[in-house]
Amino acid sequence: MKTNKRRRNVIFSLVFLVLGFMISFSYQNTKKDEKQEISESQFERDLELRNELIEQEEKNNDLYKELKESQKKLVQLEKNLSNEAETYSNLAEDAQKYRIYLGKVAVKGEGVQITLEDGEYNPKEDRVNNYLVHEHHVFKVINELYVSGAQAISINGQRLSHNSYILCNGPVIEVDGYQHPAPFVITAIGDSDVLEGAININGGVKDLLVNDNVRFSLEKKRSIQMEPLKVN
């Protein structure tokens, strides 16, 4: 009886030992599988993140290329706009010059005032005309002033236009149909130093007029204003 009991105990011990070994082995395998699954999952996640990072870098490179291209286009556009603005500015400037030349607008600035008077008559001289101011004298002054950059010119307060005419009619001159007696005051707006230098140059207009017995005087003006021409 005791022998049978011992045998049962031995058998139970062996069974429990084997069962414990199997449970332990199963537990170890389970932990190993879990670790392997976690490791594979982490690897897949890392690989996915790496691929996303590479994709994002490629997108960033493409965007950077687009940015550089857009900056080039912007620089070119700004340059074109600058050139256009300069062109329009020059056109506006030219248009204003033409308006002034045509007498369409008022003009104000520095300039010179030149007075031409008949010379003192010499009783011994038979030809009185040799002591009078004629239209060609006025023309010489006006032409020299225009050539020297005068913006606007008037005679005895009457502003000249681009198609003005001057005629000599005895002791008076006729400007666009209006008569003016001597002395003739020619006013010009422009760089006063340049205009004065051009008129007073040796052998120039002043010397020619003085040689023709015309009394000549020039005065620089700091401010001259001329109103637009009246349209008839």
Mean pLDDT of 141-168: 92
| The predicted structure's pLDDT at residue 169 | 80
Structure tokens at 46: 């890392």
SS3 of 173, please? Answer: strand
Tokens of 180: 């003016």
**Mean pLDDT over each residue of the chain, to the nearest integer:** 80
pLDDT in tens, 82-132: 777 777 777 777 777 777 777 788 899 999 999 999 877 665 666 667 778
Length of the chain: 232
Q: What is the CATH number of domain 108-226?
A: 3.30.70.1880
pLDDT (tens digit, 9 = 90+) per residue, 21-59? 566 656 565 555 555 555 667 767 777 777 778 888 888
The set of residues, in sequence order, having a beta carbon less than 8 Å from that of 157 and lying 6+ positions away, is: 185, 187
CB 117 within 8 A of CB 189: no
Beta-strand relationship, 166-169 and 184-189:
unpaired
Mean pLDDT of 150-156: 94
